[in-house]
Amino acid sequence: MANALSSETQRIYANRPAQKIAADPKLRLHILDSIRGWAAIDVLIFHVCHEVFANKLPEFGRYWISLCDGGFAVAIFFVLSGEALSHAYFVRNDVEPVRKLAIKRYVRLTIPIFASCLIVFLLMKANLVYSHEAAVVVDRPDWLGRFLPFEPSVGHLLSYSLIGVYFQHTTETSYNPVLWSMSVELFGSVLVFLTLFVTRNRTQRWVIFALLTPFMVLFAPFFVCFIFGMVFGELRVAGTFKRLAARPAANVLSVVALIGVAAGLTIVPFVGLAHFAVAQRLSIGAAVFLFAIYSSNWLQSLFDNRLSHVLGELSFPIYLVHVPIIVSLESFLILRLFPDGIVTRAPAYFIMLVSLAASLLAARAFVHVERFAIRASNAFFTFIDRL
């Protein structure tokens, strides 16, 4: 189980060469990967099932589906990124890993993004996108019907994939509408890097956390997730989560906290508290959700298995490839199985299962793009470092 690094481990790191530390697998927190994998599955199910069929199948429009809220899963991604990007710094108290991650970040994100958009571009050129017609059948002109209302071109593909996705994303101009999160991911990463660059001790960082958190909760709620992630990184390396997880009472309270998050995602939106904006609720809920897991050996054990580890490797590919599946294969099946425009349950469930399976298979193939992006970002860092 990946958990807080022990004081003994930290003493070992302190006496080892930096190049060996950088490659040490213990610097990678596998619990974060496992949780990220299940969050990606959450997004996949939410989009393939709820977003496509909620207006036709009542069971996918009910309040319980909020537990599979794609926005909540994305908020979890952001908190996990905040910790993952800062963890090596907290372990080593060295800015070098931060500098390396900062130089690599754009290349690391952009190559998979471009590949995802290229897939959609090729589908559009081959006339294999059926989302507009399918949107009429499933009564989702407000979601599926808004995708890809433009003529694809190489210039548009390049400008969107390399720049627009971070600065000018809109559903109507995107080759992959879920990429709205990439601008938050990139600039949230910059927030993490700047915080670590300008501080030299824990006290300075906690002052920044205390000053930024209230402001960001109100005005930039998804960015505050990266602050939460850095806070969790501090607590993990200090051994706080390890001490909490060893206490039976903390394990019980963690389960209670998860029940509270579930209630906040399902009941709260229906009891007149809509003035508390969705992004704030999702961001705070994600932080409480992860704090509860980190503070409980019971809950962490749920993610310590082979399936969770595999999903962790597939998490970013799942996120990037499922929309191409929705606009092509799933939309095509909707048109073929509901030619009269009447949606029935058995074929709809068949379409969902096929689309989920196809997304997972496509993600498995996309892992090669992910690995290439990692190698390319490392090569880019080496090139920049030698200048």
Average pLDDT over residues 62-73: 71
Q: What does 11-79 look like in DSSP terms, one character per residue?
A: HHHHTS-HHHHHH-GGGS-HHHHHHHHHHHHHHHHIIIIIIHHTTT-GGGTSGGGGGG-HHHHHHHHHH
Asked if pLDDT for residue 167 goes beyond 60, the answer is yes
Q: What does 192-234 look like in DSSP terms, one character per residue?
A: HHHHHHH--SHHHHHHHHHHHHHHHHHH-TTTHHHHHHHHHHH
CB neighbour class for 259 (10 Å; exposed up to 12, middle 13-18, buried from 19): exposed
Joined together, the tokens standing for residue 228 give: 């939460």
Whole-number percent of the chain with pLDDT over 90: 79
Interhelix angle for 181-198 vs 224-237, to 10°?
50
Residue 41: the pLDDT is 95
Handedness of CA 235, 238, 240, 241 (dihedral sign): positive
pLDDT band at 68 (very low <50, low <70, confident <90, very high): low
More confident residue, 190 or 6: 190
CA 124 – CA 60 distance, rounded (Å): 29
Highest mean pLDDT among 123-137, 265-279, 294-308: 123-137
Instruction: Kindly report which listed range (8-17, 21-30, 87-96, 99-108) carries the lowest average pLDDT score.
Output: 8-17
pLDDT band at 64 (very low <50, low <70, confident <90, very high): low
Identity of residue 381: F
Residue 62: the pLDDT is 63
pTM given for the model: 0.90
More confident residue, 179 or 9: 179
Residue 28: the pLDDT is 62
More confident residue, 28 or 54: 54
Residue 190: the pLDDT is 97
Q: What does 64-91 look like in DSSP terms, one character per residue?
A: GGGGG-HHHHHHHHHHHHHHHHHHHHHH
If you search the block for the tokens 């191409």, which residue do you land on?
324
Whole-number percent of the chain with pLDDT over 70: 88
Instruction: Kindly report which listed range (127-141, 225-239, 277-291, 352-366) carries the lowest average pLDDT score.
Output: 277-291
CA 285 – CA 244 distance, rounded (Å): 20
Residue range 239-261, pLDDT digits in tens: 999 999 999 999 999 999 998 88
CB neighbour class for 40 (10 Å; exposed up to 12, middle 13-18, buried from 19): buried
Residue 63: the pLDDT is 55
Instruction: Kindly report which listed range (72-86, 130-144, 262-276, 340-354) carries the lowest average pLDDT score.
Output: 262-276
Residue 322: the pLDDT is 98
Residue 180: the pLDDT is 96
pLDDT band at 234 (very low <50, low <70, confident <90, very high): very high
CA 345 – CA 353 distance, rounded (Å): 12
The rounded mean pLDDT for the chain is: 89
Contact between 91 and 10 under an 8 Å Cβ cutoff? The reply is: yes
